[in-house]
Structure formats: structure tokens, C-alpha cells
């Protein structure tokens, strides 16, 4: 599995939340990131996915497979 295999939902953040964009990975509970642009949020999300998977494996937890098919 590669980080790019996972769906990432990118949404704008309100000015009250600091602006920019949030990136949420629905298949990996609690995995999210943000950035000033959608591209930056996506790039940061891929780093977060890698860290999420590494942490889950280190704790002996199952890593969910991506719901969507890889391109």
C-alpha cells in the first residue's frame, strides 16, 4: 500500500480555524493534516498516512486497506 492509494478529502478551513485547507483520510481513523493550499494539504496528508501506517504496524494493529481502487 502506498499513501496515494488512500482517499483524501480536502476541505477549506474557516478564517476562525486559521484558514487554509484540512485533509482527512476516511479509511484511517484520526488521520488528518492541513496546509495553506489544497496541494500542500494533500502532500501533508500523504506524510500523515505514512506515519499512521507505521504507528499502527509498530503497535501490532491492523491497517485498513484503501476503499478505492488504486489508479
- Span 3-56, pLDDT tens digits: 999 999 999 999 998 899 999 999 999 999 999 999 999 999 999 999 999 999
pLDDT for the residue 9:
97
Residue 41 Rama label (left phi>0; alpha psi -120 to 50; beta) = alpha
Using the predicted structure, report yes or no on whether residue 1 has a pLDDT greater than 80: no
Dihedral of alpha carbons 69, 71, 9, 30, sign: positive
pLDDT for the residue 67:
85
Confidence band for 69, pLDDT divided at 50, 70 and 90: low
Distance of CA 48 to the CA centre of its chain: 6
Q: Are strands 21-24 and 9-12 parallel, antiparallel or unpaired?
A: antiparallel
Largest CA-CA distance found in the chain, in angstroms, rounded: 39
Grid coordinates in use for 60?
501490532
Amino acid at each position: 500500500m502506498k499513501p496515494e492509494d488512500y482517499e483524501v478529502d480536502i476541505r477549506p478551513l474557516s478564517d476562525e480555524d486559521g484558514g487554509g485547507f484540512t485533509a482527512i483520510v476516511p479509511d484511517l481513523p484520526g488521520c488528518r493534516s492541513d496546509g495553506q493550499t489544497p496541494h500542500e494539504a494533500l502532500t501533508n496528508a500523504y506524510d500523515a498516512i505514512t506515519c499512521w501506517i507505521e504507528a499502527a504496524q509498530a503497535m501490532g494493529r491492523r491497517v485498513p486497506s484503501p476503499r478505492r481502487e488504486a489508479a
